[in-house]
Structures are given as structure tokens and as C-alpha cells.
């Protein structure tokens, strides 16, 4: 199973867990699996069939460019990284 690190602002959806394990072969399947267990996750991560603007996805430490189609291995680590703001 892949390990998904949950950003602090989304932990209210995962009962304060900072990492969870789910199965999936790509980022879309990972998000769907998360949403099945923790409803509301998909709404925070997906907008009109793509990753929401302002969120990057890193699989095994690499921010890819395939969005929801980014492949995931069974032992991958996935991070959803919100954009930093400030000035």
C-alpha cells in the first residue's frame, strides 16, 4: 500500500492522522481510495477533473507533471503540497 502524507489543513478529514495507507496505481486512484475512507478529501484536492490549482503532488519525492495520471507504486510515498503564500 502507498503511504499518503496528509497536509495539516486536511487532517480534520482523517481524524488527525498525518499519514494513511491506501492502494492505487495512480494519483486519481489514491484520491478515490482516500475519499472512500475519508469523505471530503477528493473535494479538497480535485477541481474539474484535475488537481486543484495551488496544490502540487509529489510521488516518491518528485513533483510530476501528469496530475491525476501520475503513476504510483505499491510502496510509494505521496505528498499533497499546498502552495505557500506570503510576501
Q: Is the pLDDT of residue 80 over 70?
A: yes
Domain span holding position 19: 2-82
One DSSP character per residue, 13-62 reads TTTT-SEEEE--SBHHHHHHHHHHHSTTHHHHHEETTEEPTTEEEEETTE
For residue 57, being part of any structural domain is answered with: yes
pLDDT at 83: 76
Beta bridge partners of 55: 82
Q: Is 8 helix (H, G, I), strand (E, B) or coil?
A: helix
pLDDT tens per residue, range 23-72: 999 999 999 999 999 999 999 999 999 999 999 999 999 998 999 999 99
pLDDT at 12: 97
Domain count, the chain: 1
Q: Is the pLDDT of residue 16 over 70?
A: yes
The pTM for the full model equals 0.92
Q: Output the domain CATH number for residue 54.
A: 3.10.20.30
For residue 87, being part of any structural domain is answered with: no
Amino acid at each position: 500500500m502507498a503511504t499518503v502524507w496528509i497536509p495539516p489543513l486536511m487532517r480534520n478529514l482523517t481524524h488527525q492522522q498525518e499519514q494513511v495507507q491506501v492502494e492505487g496505481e495512480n494519483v486519481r486512484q489514491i484520491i478515490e481510495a482516500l475519499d472512500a475512507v475519508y469523505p471530503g478529501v477528493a473535494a479538497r484536492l480535485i477541481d474539474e477533473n484535475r488537481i486543484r490549482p495551488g496544490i502540487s503532488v509529489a510521488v516518491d519525492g518528485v513533483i510530476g507533471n501528469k496530475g491525476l495520471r501520475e503513476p504510483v507504486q505499491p510502496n510509494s510515498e505521496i505528498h499533497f503540497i499546498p502552495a505557500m503564500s506570503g510576501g
